[in-house]
Amino acid sequence: MNEDIQISAGTLQHRLGPAPAVAVLLGSGWAPFAAQVQGGAEVAYADLPAFPALGVGGHQGLVRAGHIGSTPVAVLAGRKHAYETGNADGMLGAIRTLAAWGVKLLLQTNAAGSLDAAMRPGELMLISDHLNIVQRSPLIGEPGDHRFQDMSSAYDPALRAQARAAAAAMGSSLYEGIYAWVLGPQFETPAEIRMLRAFGARAVGMSTVPETIIARHAGMKVLALSMMTNMAAGMENEVLSHAHTLATANAASERAVATLAAVVQALEV
């Protein structure tokens, strides 16, 4: 194991205690979830050599561990995106550290554009599968046959069923569908969105897929929730902007956070 990962996992163990089964990676719009974690302690990414240095602009870069109800959980606030560098491996060390610490499930969250006219901004979608149309991999340069990672059932079917049941039990609507990863940072053209819809995508976003590949390769299970922040390009007469994405995410975050908290407590990892 890489020395930075060993040191980082040791620091998490020392400062936060034994690993919880579930780590939640918070995407745009999901930051308020961190406040749901009670009685916890925090470690800054800056103290973890395997973790990325985050650019300026709102991302704090913290691992926080505590409980939601009686369920132990860790949250990661802050993600390195491939559009920052062109590389898909920005979260490689961080996610391998979680696996080395002992985390079993990476539960990802993100903000996404909706390709389904019925799935409006503010709605939530469980990712059933993904389209890596960027065709970049965080595993480039990995030695050995282990690099040929199986990606069928990447988003754990049994845990997805548990998540659906948890959302239904609290009356929170939850869509399910295929997430297409685009590199960004520019939004898509209407022609690109028509292509993605023809490919079967129901949502589009600029994250999550590299982290899913890393986590599966590291032996972890994966579950992912997208929050729709806008209708995708060309679907409505709307100019897309990051400010718009964040404003919609803030408006929708209360139900999203409550749903995520219920899901975390319901999962049998």
Residue 235 φ then ψ, to 5°: -80, -30
Active-site residue identified among 8, 110, 137, 207:
207
Which among 193, 66, 213 has a CA at the least distance from the CA of 140? 213
How many Å apart are CA 52 and CA 31, to the nearest integer? 18
Judge contact between 121 and 114, C-beta under 8 A.
yes
Would you count residue 111 as binding ligand HPA (CB under 6 A)? yes
Per-residue x/- marks for ligand HPA, 159-198, CB under 6 A? -----------------------x----xx----------
241 annotated active-site: no
217 annotated active-site: no
CA dihedral of residues 159, 174, 40, 9 (deg, nearest 10): 40
**How many residues form the binding site for ligand HPA (CB under 6 A)?**
14
The minimum distance between CB 50 and ligand HPA, in angstroms, equals 27
Per-residue x/- marks for ligand HPA, 54-83, CB under 6 A? ------------------------------
242 annotated active-site: yes
In the bound state with ligand HPA, the residue whose beta carbon lies nearer, of 105 and 204, is: 204
Judge contact between 62 and 44, C-beta under 8 A.
yes
Q: Is the dihedral of CA 56, 207, 72, 257 positive or negative?
A: positive
Q: Which residue has the tokens 């719009």?
A: 29
244 annotated active-site: no
How many Å apart are CA 230 and CA 248, to the nearest integer? 8
Please report, as residue ranges, which positions from 135 to 154 form the binding site for ligand HPA (by CB under 6 A).
none
How many Å apart are CA 108 and CA 211, to the nearest integer? 8
Residue of the chain from 178, 206, 214, 218 that contacts ligand HPA (CB under 6 A): 206
Q: DSSP class of residue 46?
A: G
In the bound state with ligand HPA, the residue whose beta carbon lies nearer, of 30 and 187, is: 187
Would you count residue 113 as binding ligand HPA (CB under 6 A)? yes
Helix (H, G, I), strand (E, B) or coil at 107: strand
The minimum distance between CB 253 and ligand HPA, in angstroms, equals 14
Residue 19 φ then ψ, to 5°: -65, 140
**What is the radius of gyration, based on Cα positions, of the chain?**
17
Residue of the chain from 40, 121, 205, 210 that contacts ligand HPA (CB under 6 A): 205
Q: Which residue is nearest to ligand HPA (CB)?
A: 113
Active-site residue identified among 59, 88, 94, 218:
59
Active site residues: 28, 59, 81, 83-84, 111, 206-207, 230, 242
Residues that bind ligand HPA (CB under 6 A): 111-113, 182, 187-188, 204-206, 229-230, 232, 240, 245
